[in-house]
Structures are given as C-alpha cells and as structure tokens.
C-alpha cells in the first residue's frame, strides 16, 4: 500500500526543501524523498576528512539568498525559531597575485576606491561610477530572483520603453570581458574584476555575462557574503526540522524512478525498490531536464524532447577539502586570511582567457585558476581548537583527456597534488605536515553525489542567456509547471534563477499556492 501525504518531493536539495517548507507551514503534510544517505544536495556539511572537521562539500558561501525574503524577512522562522545564523565578513573576497600584491574587495565602497587607486586613479574613479550604477540596477535585478519569472518577451518590451532600460538591455547582451575593458584600463584591476565574473563558471568572453559584475559588486556592498555558522548544511538542517515539526518527514535512501500520473495529474512517486508514495495534492521534483521524458509518465514528447536538448555547461569544478593542523599562512600577508573567498590569480588576463578556451575544447587548462576559502577562520566551530579547514577549487573539463570521464578516478590524486603544489607558491605552510587529510571531488564525483549535477555541471544546465529567466530550462518548463501534467512542479538549479544558494524553491511554492488556493502572503505573515 502506498504511503499517503499531501505533497511528495523528489530530492532534498535546498530548493526542494524550501518549497516543501512553505507548504508544510501552510498545513500540508509533506514527504521528501532523498536518494543519498544524507540530505541537502549541494548545500550540505559533512565530515569528509577527519572527525571534528566539518566541510561544505559544495556551496561554501550563501550569497544571493541574503536578499530572499526567506532569509531577509525570516519568513519561515529559520533564524528566530531554528537558530540559523550568519556572519558577514567586511572583506568578502580578495585577489592575490604571485608577487604578493593583493586587491581586497570590501563591502565599503570608499575602501575599494582606495585599494584601486594604488593601481590607477582613473580606474578608481570609474569604479565609483560603476558601483553607483550597479546599486541603481540592484533592486530591479533582485526583484525577480525569488518569484516566478516574468515572460521573456514582456520583460524585454518593458526595457525597450526607456533610455535607461535600453542601456541595461545592452549591458545584458555584452560579455563580462566587454564590460570590464570598457570601464577599466589597468591589467590587474581588469583581472581582479574578471575573476569575480568567472566564478559563475562561465568564460569572461561569453556574451550575456555583462550584467553579472554590476550585480555581484552591488550585492556584496548591500548584503555581503553570508557565512553560515556551523556550516552550509545548517540551512538544510533547519528546513528539515521545520518540515518535521509540521508533521512531515524527510526519508533518505529512496531512489525515485518515476512520477505516477493518473488522468493527466501527478498522483505520486514510485521508487526503484517498489515502494510508492502517493500525493493528494501535488508532486515536486528536482528532475534534470534530460531525465524528464522518462521520469514523468505521459509527458508530452515535444516538451520532453526540448528538455533533453538543453545545454550542459562545459566548465566543471575539481575541489579539495583539507583538514589542517594549523591555519593557512599566506605569503602576501595575514590580511588575506580575513576574506571568505581568496582568488589566487594567474599571471595575466590572457592566462585567464586561455584557461576558459582550454575548457571549451575539452583540454586540461595549461594554467591554474584556483580559488579557496578557509571557513574555520570565520567560524571556529568548523574545526577542533587550533586546527583549520580548507576548501579549494579549480576548473576542469568533465572528460579527462587521458581516457574520458572514468579516467578521473585514476588521475584524481595526480591533479590534487599539482593543484596543491601550485597553491604552495602563495601559501607558506601548505605542506604534508600541515595537511592532516584531504578529500578530493572530481566532476564525476559531483555527478555521483547529485543527479542535478549532470556531467559535473553544478548549475544543472549551462547558465547561458537563452537558458535563463522564464526560458530556464525551456520556455515550456520555465514557470515550474509541466504542461499536460497537472500538479507536477519543478525545482532545482536548472530552474530560474539557476545554480547557487538562492532559496529558489520559494518561487515554486508561490506557483503551487496559486494552484492550491492557498494564500502565500498569509503563510509568510504567520
């Protein structure tokens, strides 16, 4: 006999949990099904190395969710009732050059002006104008992040009605490289800003990335980077506790293989072990677009075919999680360790561009583009007293040049060793004596950890302009519903607004409340 609840959710990634939590707060009985032995998807904290060392396996910082009413207004009580807390470092990021020069990025605009003035007074003046324009754009950009997206045509038509809108539209069509070269002249200043843009796992010369720098700088200035105290997984833990307190459940070890549909309506979920979970009201699925055709019974083949054609990003991440005997010591100075995200920059702008050129053609990049953080510096609870953690990443292709994707298993240690060797040029104590243990994840490991990370793409699908907004992942599926299958809703990084810690399940919940005749505003006001 099938287990019955109002809402059944496939996957316990934070987006699905957010949607489920809003429905649970509305009084719906909710069952969340997770394939892994742990919950959280890309927002999870695990002891990957040694006992007492807590590592964020994927997302290390919570950035854009800070503007989400989920957190900003504490709509679900995650802060006030479930103890979710953040710290916000005054220096969110810093760029470090091999010769010891650094460019910190502060939340304070005038501090940033003084940092850039050391390289170019003209660029420092340009930055002030740039920051002012970004601050003007920010309310427009954030307004659509946490609600169902506006139709693409209507959005562009609205922008075309004013000079300011047309200027913004033009910026949105340009690349990050176009924008940075238009506003700044000094090579190191350009490299500093382009590295920020490329953290979105998109090459700086990809058209459609131009607005990213405006948004990121303005966002950091207003909201900062949220460092979740206790680890990234405290967000998902708080959501799970809310669901359970509301009478729902989160069940691990359930590998779902089919959404059951009856008379054109989603009525439950079937698991590979034969169990069935029936849904009175709706099913929510973190289902990759490439799987949707076989996962949902009776789906329109045209809808499924378009979803199967969605483009997966070519740029993947290789990560190292290390347990350290003592905190990292940077050759550029102790101030580096105060930043949440530390960028070890390549020698020149061309090296950065070539890095993404190599990825485009499936090559292991000739140069390194390492970013890292040591969360225990900002949250001592992440490691035993006096010890530290490190989370470092570089970009690689999914297919290893020497044997394809399966070859990553045999080349993992080799790549990690080369990556650590490169980092030792910036860090004086990154030695075998200090590294007590490390856990490495290749793109193939990412895919194994989550079915959302197809071919190692942590965005689910590529964050291209044509796969954004109401067209993410496709125009048919861009508003979280599945045409022809009533009460079937979608969540995940392949939906608007994309990969990252956005808490985007809120938009799915809004859409569901409309259909289920629930007052979303009343739910959030309770």
Kindly list the domain boundaries of the chain, sorted by start residue.
3-44+57-86+230-310+452-525, 105-222, 312-449
Residue 2 confidence (pLDDT): 75
For 234, the enclosing helix (H) or strand (E) is helix 233-245
The answer to whether residue 45 scores a pLDDT higher than 90 is yes
| Averaged pLDDT, 394-412 | 96
Token readout for 39 is 């919950």
Residue 425 confidence (pLDDT): 97
Residue 116 confidence (pLDDT): 98
| Averaged pLDDT, 83-99 | 96
The answer to whether residue 526 scores a pLDDT higher than 80 is no
Q: pLDDT tens across 464-473, in order?
A: 889 999 999 9
CA distance 336 to 223: 21
| Averaged pLDDT, 29-43 | 95
CA distance 509 to 494: 16
The answer to whether residue 119 scores a pLDDT higher than 70 is yes
| Averaged pLDDT, 123-148 | 94
Residue 156 confidence (pLDDT): 87
Burial label for 60, CB within 10 Å (0-12, 13-18, 19+), is buried
| Averaged pLDDT, 316-344 | 97
DSSP class of residue 148 equals P
Q: Are 266 and 282 in contact (CB under 8 A)?
A: yes
Whether the model pTM is above 0.85: yes
- Per DSSP, the three-state class of 323 is strand
> Higher pLDDT residue, 156 or 481?
481
Q: According to the CATH classification, is domain 3-44+57-86+230-310+452-525 in 3.40.50.300?
A: no
Percent of the chain with pLDDT over 70: 100
Residues in the chain: 526
Confidence of residue 1 (pLDDT cuts 50, 70, 90): low
CA distance 372 to 394: 9
The overall average pLDDT reported for the chain is 95
Residue 478 confidence (pLDDT): 95
| Averaged pLDDT, 250-263 | 96
Confidence of residue 368 (pLDDT cuts 50, 70, 90): very high
Q: Are 226 and 89 in contact (CB under 8 A)?
A: no
Residue 383 confidence (pLDDT): 98
DSSP class of residue 310 equals P
| Averaged pLDDT, 217-228 | 95
Burial label for 131, CB within 10 Å (0-12, 13-18, 19+), is middle
Residue 456 confidence (pLDDT): 92
């Amino acid at each position: 006999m099938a287990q019955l609840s109002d809402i059944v959710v496939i996957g316990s990634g934070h987006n699905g949990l957010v949607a489920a939590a809003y429905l649970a707060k509305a009084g719906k009985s909710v069952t969340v099904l997770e394939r892994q032995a742990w919950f959280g998807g890309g927002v999870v904290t695990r002891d990957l190395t040694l006992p007492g060392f807590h590592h964020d396996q994927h997302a290390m910082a919570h950035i854009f969710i800070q503007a989400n009413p989920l957190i900003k207004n504490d709509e679900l009580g995650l802060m006030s009732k479930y103890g979710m807390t953040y710290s916000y470092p005054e220096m969110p990021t810093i760029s470090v050059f091999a010769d010891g020069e650094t460019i910190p990025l502060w939340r304070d605009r005038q501090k940033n002006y003084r940092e850039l003035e050391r390289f170019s007074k003209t660029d420092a003046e340009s930055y002030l104008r740039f920051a002012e324009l970004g601050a003007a754009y920010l309310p427009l950009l954030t307004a659509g992040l946490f609600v169902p997206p506006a139709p693409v045509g209507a959005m562009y038509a609205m922008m075309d009605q004013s000079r300011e809108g047309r200027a913004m539209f033009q910026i949105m069509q340009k690349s990050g490289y176009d924008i940075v070269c238009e506003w700044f002249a000094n090579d190191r200043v350009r490299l500093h800003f382009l590295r920020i843009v490329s953290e979105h796992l998109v090459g700086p010369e990809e058209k459609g990335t131009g607005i990213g720098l405006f948004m990121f700088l303005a966002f950091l200035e207003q909201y900062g980077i949220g460092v979740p105290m206790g680890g990234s997984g405290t967000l998902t833990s708080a959501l799970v506790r809310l669901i359970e307190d509301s009478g729902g459940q989160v069940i691990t070890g359930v590998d779902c293989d089919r959404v059951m549909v009856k008379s054109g309506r989603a009525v439950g979920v079937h698991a590979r072990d034969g169990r069935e979970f029936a849904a009175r009201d709706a099913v929510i699925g973190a289902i990759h677009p490439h799987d949707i055709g076989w996962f949902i019974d009776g789906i329109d083949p045209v809808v499924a075919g378009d979803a199967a054609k969605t483009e997966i990003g070519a740029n993947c991440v290789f990560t190292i999680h290390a347990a350290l005997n003592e905190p990292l010591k940077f050759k550029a100075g102790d101030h580096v360790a105060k930043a949440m995200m530390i960028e070890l920059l390549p020698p020149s702008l061309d090296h950065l561009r070539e890095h993404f050129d190599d990825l485009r053609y499936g090559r292991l990049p000739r140069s390194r583009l390492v970013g890292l953080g040591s969360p225990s510096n900002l949250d001592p609870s992440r490691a035993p007293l006096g010890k530290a953690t490190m989370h470092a990443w570089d970009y690689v292709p999914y297919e290893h040049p020497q044997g394809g994707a399966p070859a990553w298993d045999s080349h993992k240690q080799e790549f990690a060793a080369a990556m650590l060797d490169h980092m030792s040029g910036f860090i004086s104590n990154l030695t075998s004596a200090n590294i007590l243990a490390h856990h490495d994840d290749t793109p193939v490991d990412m895919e194994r950890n989550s079915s959302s990370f197809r071919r190692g793409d942590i965005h689910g699908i590529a964050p291209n302009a044509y796969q954004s907004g109401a067209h993410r992942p496709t125009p048919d599926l861009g508003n979280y519903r599945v045409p022809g299958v009533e009460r079937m809703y979608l969540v995940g990084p392949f939906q608007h607004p994309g990969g990252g810690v956005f808490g985007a399940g809120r938009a799915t919940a809004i859409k569901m409340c409309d259909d289920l005749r629930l007052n979303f505003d009343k739910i959030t006001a309770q």
